[in-house]
A and B are shown apart, each in its own frame.
Chain A
Amino acid sequence: MGDDLTISGGGATAVATDELFTAAQQLHRLALEAASLCAELVSIDRLVSMNSLGSGNDLSAARRAEFDIDHATAMLGAIEAESRGVGGALSNAAEAYGFSERFIGSLGTQLAADGAAVLGAMTFASAILSPGAMIVGGLALRGLVAAHVFEGDPGKASHGAHPSNWLLTNPVTAAAVRAAAMSMDDAMLTASGLPLPAAQLLGDNGIGLVGLPFAAAALMGVGSTVGLFTETQVRPLAAHSRPVEGPPTGFADRLSRVPDAGTSDGAQVVVEKYEVPGGPDEFAVYVGGTVTFSPEATTEPFDMTSNVANAAGNDGGAFRAVVEAMRLAGVQESSPVTLTGYSEGGGTAARIAASGRFDVVGLTTFGGPTGQIPIPASVTTVIIEHSDDIVPALGGTQVNQQALIVERDVFAGRDIPTQYAVPAHHLEYYEETARLLDAATSDQVKASAARLNAFGAGATSVTSTAYTFERVEH
């Protein structure tokens, strides 16, 4: 099961594994081919009539051939019917699974939202949101920051073992995190004194006036009162060229170009420029993940503050860094651009695509919290998430059903490594998933891959520049 890719989206409502979609598509084509061959055989059969063959022994082989043609025609009719039936059953199973998943998901989100709203109301009733309590909470969070509790990437190896990381590495936890992320607004509304029915009406399950972006914006507002989640400007610190041979040829190749600020040269953004004869320059932008999870913005723009800003729909430090890197690389508003991001880089890349500031034609995200960022349907989008990874779940329910959504339960049926706090988010496993995706055979995956891989084709000159940014101190 750990190697199965579950495919959904693409404007369709079906959800199934790549293998199941491939089988359904094969059977559909087989039915069409059998029907076509059947019609062909009927024509062939008319070429020679049994009457013209007489009854003599000299043409007995030709007469038996006529019976063979009749038998083949009958077989092809049966093949068409069987293939159509089984293929249809597979498609129906995928539709039913998709329906069940959405129904259960929406039910869970509704229950979580209601629970959060009730909790929020109780919080309000007990006056936990009193100024004194807020100050105590803020000071406690600042104490954790001072103790470097939030340093480092939870997806990366750490010196200590994490024997209980299975708690954070299963689809149930990820679904609960997703539901909780979607419920924050309900809890906040009732905690602020709004009646429960009014909060439900305004929330995601009502008219959708408030949602995860509202909750994230509120978190930033409250956090700023104690010096947390405070956005800043950014400035380029360094830029250097990187060796590159050509545009990426697949998902694994694409992911390998995403910078890892923690382990390489400190660059957070890489921009590749493709000079295409007879057309405008094209650009591929690669955005790295979170460097520090501290809620206090210091010098690193790829931090938790930027994550929350992405969720709020604001221009966070990471967003500004990518926009500035694109400007420095020569990207114009009309330049065709593809974006690839891992983790926070995925969320930031999605925000860039959603901003409409650039002519983004392709987007690939790996483990990014992208759920509530509305990506334009005109962008060829592939969203890759591990269903046992809590990081993309923090982005809430996935609204981009026009995108190709690829999910994988990485540790289904195998041991969870204890050297990582959140192993399903680790780059190594997304690299595995990218390789599986390159080998996938369903039409949905192949079509999206072909569109993304066509970008930069025919380029006569390819250059790559890596950029490092820092926050400008308050």
Chain B
Amino acid sequence: MIEPPDAALIVALEAQSRGLAAALNRLEVARRDLVPTGAAVWRGRARHAYDDAVQTISTKVDAGIAALRSARDRTDAALAGMADRG
């Protein structure tokens, strides 16, 4: 037997969804504006080291964006499932 949805949990999940959406938006803006591009000033090994460091940061920012998006989508999916049971 499926239990009826908990109203307090719905409110909490809705707040979580909104919070995750806002955080996702901020991180996407940071990805666009704050991850450096280009390294024309560097030469040789310094350029490789700099490129690698920026690439590492980019990869982690992308992973953070993916995790936030997934968290938001799964929260929304949970809310949708609870609404169906509603």
Residue of A nearest to B64 (CB): A75
Q: Mark B31-70, 1 if CB is under 8 A from A, else 0.
A: 0011110111100000000100110110011011001101
The answer to whether A48 and B74 have CB atoms under 8 Å apart is: no
Q: A26-B35, A86-B53 are in contact. Are A79 and B20 (CB under 8 A)?
A: no
The answer to whether B60 and A27 have CB atoms under 8 Å apart is: no
The answer to whether A22 and B9 have CB atoms under 8 Å apart is: no
Residue of B nearest to A33 (CB): B30
The answer to whether B81 and A44 have CB atoms under 8 Å apart is: no
Whether a CB of chain B sits under 8 angstroms from the CB of A41 is yes
Number of interface residues of B (CB under 8 A): 43
**A residues within 8 A CB of B39?**
19, 23
**B residues within 8 A CB of A40?**
19, 22-23
Q: Which of B20, B40, B41, B56 contacts A69 (CB 8 A)?
A: B20
The docked-state distance in angstroms from the alpha carbon of A89 to that of B41 is 15
> How many A-B pairs with Cβ below 8 Å?
123
**A residues within 8 A CB of B61?**
30, 75, 79
Q: Which of B22, B60, B68, B81 contacts A68 (CB 8 A)?
A: B68
The docked-state distance in angstroms from the alpha carbon of A100 to that of B82 is 65
Number of interface residues of A (CB under 8 A): 42
**A residues within 8 A CB of B27?**
33, 37, 76
The answer to whether B16 and A72 have CB atoms under 8 Å apart is: no
The answer to whether A4 and B60 have CB atoms under 8 Å apart is: no
Residue of B nearest to A48 (CB): B12
Q: A71-B67, A79-B60 are in contact. Are A4 and B40 (CB under 8 A)?
A: yes
The answer to whether A82 and B26 have CB atoms under 8 Å apart is: no
Q: Give 10 pairs: A residue, B residue, CB < 8 Å, sorted on A.
A: A19-B38, A47-B12, A47-B15, A59-B81, A62-B13, A65-B74, A79-B61, A82-B53, A82-B56, A86-B50
- Apart from A4-B41, A47-B16, list 14 A-B contacts with CB within 8 A: A19-B38, A30-B35, A33-B34, A37-B27, A37-B30, A48-B12, A58-B2, A58-B82, A59-B81, A64-B74, A69-B20, A72-B67, A75-B63, A89-B53
Which residues on A are within 8 Å of B, measured CB to CB?
4, 16-17, 19-20, 22-23, 26-27, 29-30, 33-34, 37, 40-41, 43-44, 47-48, 52-53, 56, 58-59, 61-62, 64-66, 68-69, 71-72, 75-76, 78-79, 82-83, 86, 89
